[in-house]
Amino acid sequence: DGANSPRLVFNDVDMRRFRHGFYLSDCDDLLLSGCDLSRYTKHGFRFEEGCNRVTLRQCTADCSERDADWETKTELFPFGFLVNNGGAPNSELVFEDCLASNNRMPLQKKKYKNGDGFVVEGNTNDVRFVRCRGIRNQDGGFDLKVDAVKLIDCVALGNSRNIRIWKSATLENCFTGWGSCGLWCNGGPITVNRSTFHAMRTAAVQTDDKAKEP
């Protein structure tokens, strides 16, 4: 109904076998800590609109737990953590020590198969990831469409495109490995400091059509 829900805390809330786990709107000064979600068909954590000053600490979203049979049951666009373009912008989100893994849908009919760990859509602002991990997701470990997003001490392993940046970003002390592409950019500028790119199948860094900045 658009009413604001301030200062909610979800601590050690675990879920298994569901479509959406947390699906939240209009929540300010929100804290989720130690929440572990697994075996979902669509999204683990979804922030739809109007969520401001949100902190997630030690939360996990594991779509399939590497179960190939479960991966045949997922829907289009399985995501671990989604900050959506629902209406009113979301702002000031911090992800600390969070894990997004095994968001996959192998039976998709199109050549391009989506399925991401962390997704942040374009009308969000002020987003930071600290010591977060995106592992074995169908497409992106991190798929980030916002300006000035920060990744600090983050790890992306075994995704198709480990880190996807659509606008601008800073990476500090990050590790990306064993994917098709380490860092994909369709915007810029991007600053990368003290980071490692290891064992990519196609490229450590790849730019797309709209990437015009250094």
Q: Which residues contact 208 (CB under 8 A, 6 or more apart)?
A: 184, 185, 186
Assess whether pLDDT exceeds 70 at residue 182. Answer: yes
pLDDT of residue 154: 99
212: pLDDT strictly greater than 90: no
Query: In this predicted model, what pLDDT tens digit does every residue of 108-149 receive, in sequence order?
Result: 777 777 899 999 999 999 999 999 999 999 999 999 999 999
Q: Quote the pLDDT of residue 2.
A: 56
- Tell me how far CA of residue 60 lies from CA of 5, 31, 36, 145, 160, in angstroms: 23, 14, 5, 21, 20
Paired strand residues for 207: 185
| pLDDT tens per residue, range 16-51 | 999 999 999 999 999 999 999 999 999 999 999 999
Query: What's the CA gap between 42 and 114, in Å, rounded?
Result: 12
DSSP state of 12: S
The pTM for the full model equals 0.96
Closest by CA to 81, choosing from 141, 163, 34, is 141
**pLDDT of amino acid 109:** 77
